[in-house]
Structure formats: structure tokens, C-alpha cells
Amino acid sequence: MNIFRFAGDMTHLISILVLLLKVYATKSCSGISLKTQELYGIVFLARYLDLFTDFISVYNTVMKLVFIGSSLAIVWCMRFHRVVKRSYDRDVDTFRHYFLVGGCFLLALFVHEKFSFREVFWAFSIYLEAVAILPQLILLQRSGNVDNLTGQYVLFLGAYRGFYILNWIYRYFTEDQFSRWISCVSGLVQTALYADFFYYYFISWKNNAKLKLPA
């Protein structure tokens, strides 16, 4: 493991902790897209099919369990918690995310590194993760106002993807057998999606004002 991957894992973990803090401490999921959280749940379930068959390290196994468990816990809380679910912005979170699932799965069937059950689902998870943030960004754009915890959640999530791009670049130049070009391309797509959000987040921080996205 290199420092870029470790930093990526830690910023991803922080983003999850920030989101859990918002949901469980404030008993509110206002400003959070259930569609995005469901997509992330699908991403991790599809990616970690090897969880109980291939052991790499304790760290690797724990992180997989954390990502799967936290994603499913957030989805459950937003759907079924008697207090939290009342704050869900159902009328704003209307992105048809099942189109993303279907489109990414079809793409994975045709564009993959090896045609096997696990590799196709791995490619599917990579493609889906690249666009999973879309419902969240659209929800924030529609609502206009973004509270600090939600803004920090998206910020750390973007930092996680940025560190992983550096990880893939580092591995490309240091590992002879590294060929995960699909990851690199999807990472660049995600970077483009986050760039606009980061700009407005920086402006709000600089002016010590509440984050507002253009309608």
C-alpha cells in the first residue's frame, strides 16, 4: 500500500463519519440524497464479492466491511428510522438513479478488462461509483443551500477520489503488472463532477458564508 491509497481510504472514512454524524447526531438527513447512498451501497456490494473468498489483509477486510456496513446503515436509517426519515427531501431527490445502474451494467458487459463474473461486476462498480454522486449534486443544486456537514461530506468524498487518482498514477509507474485503466478513466470523470462543487465550497469558505450553489 502507498501513501496515496491510505490517504484516500482515510478521507473516504472521514466522509462516512461526517455523514453518520449528521444523520445520527442531528436525527436529520435533510440535504442528503438517498439515491446516492443506495448507489454507493450497490457499488460496494458489487465490488467486494471476494470478501469471503480472497483474504488480502486484515486492513483490507475491515475497510470493505466498513464501507458496505456504513452504506447500508445510512440507507436503512433514511428509509426506516421513524425520526430521520421525516426529514428526507423526497420531493427534491427525484433523480432516476436506476438508469445509471442499468447503463453502467450494460457498459460493464462490453467494456471490461476480463470477461468473468467478478471482473464484470468490478467494472460495473467502478463505472457506477463515477456517477453515484450525481443525485447528491443535483439535490444540492435544487435546494440551493447546503449545511456545513453536508458540504464537508461531499468535500471529503471528492478528496478521496482525488487521492485514489494519485494512487493509480503512482501504481502505473511503480508496478509492472498494474493495468487498471478503467479506474483511472472513471476517476477523471468523478474529478470533473466534483470540480464545480469545490469551487463554490471554496468561495463560501473564503467569504465565511453559507454554501450556496447556483440554481
What is the grid cell recorded at 195? 470540480
pLDDT, tens digit (0-9, with 9 covering 90-100), for 38-70 = 999 999 999 999 887 888 889 889 999 999 999
Is the pLDDT higher at 34 or at 182?
34
Alpha-carbon distance 148 to 22, whole Å?
10
What pLDDT score does 177 carry?
A: 63
What percentage of residues in the chain have a pLDDT greater than 90?
31
**Residue 180: predicted pLDDT:** 62
Mean pLDDT (the chain, rounded) = 83
pTM for this prediction: 0.84
Instruction: Give the pLDDT band of residue 166 (cuts 50, 70, 90).
Output: confident
Helices (H), the chain: 3-20, 26, 34-47, 58-80, 97-110, 117-131, 134-143, 148-174, 181-206
Query: What Cα–Cα distance (Å) separates residue 1 from each residue in 5, 47, 118, 171, 175?
Result: 7, 19, 22, 10, 12
* Percent of all residues in the chain with a pLDDT value above 70, rounded to a whole number: 81
* Separation between Cα atoms, residue 106 and residue 191, nearest integer Å: 23
- pLDDT tens for residues 133-151? 889 888 887 776 677 777 7
pLDDT-based confidence at residue 1 (cuts at 50, 70, 90): confident
In the predicted structure, residue 7 carries a pLDDT above the cut 70? yes
